[in-house]
Amino acid sequence: MPECVFCKIAAGDIPANIVYEDEQILCFHDLEPQAPVHVLIIPKKHIDSLDAAADDDAAMLGLLLTKVKEVAALLSLENGYRLVNNCGEDGMQTVKHLHFHLLGKRRLLWPPG
Q: Which residues are catalytic?
A: 99
Continuous H helices in 34-87? 58-74
| 4, 14 contact by CB (below 8 A) | no
- Provide the β-strand partners of residue 13: none
Q: How far is CA 35 from the centre of its chain?
A: 14
Listed residue (110, 88, 102, 108) closest to 30, CA to CA: 102
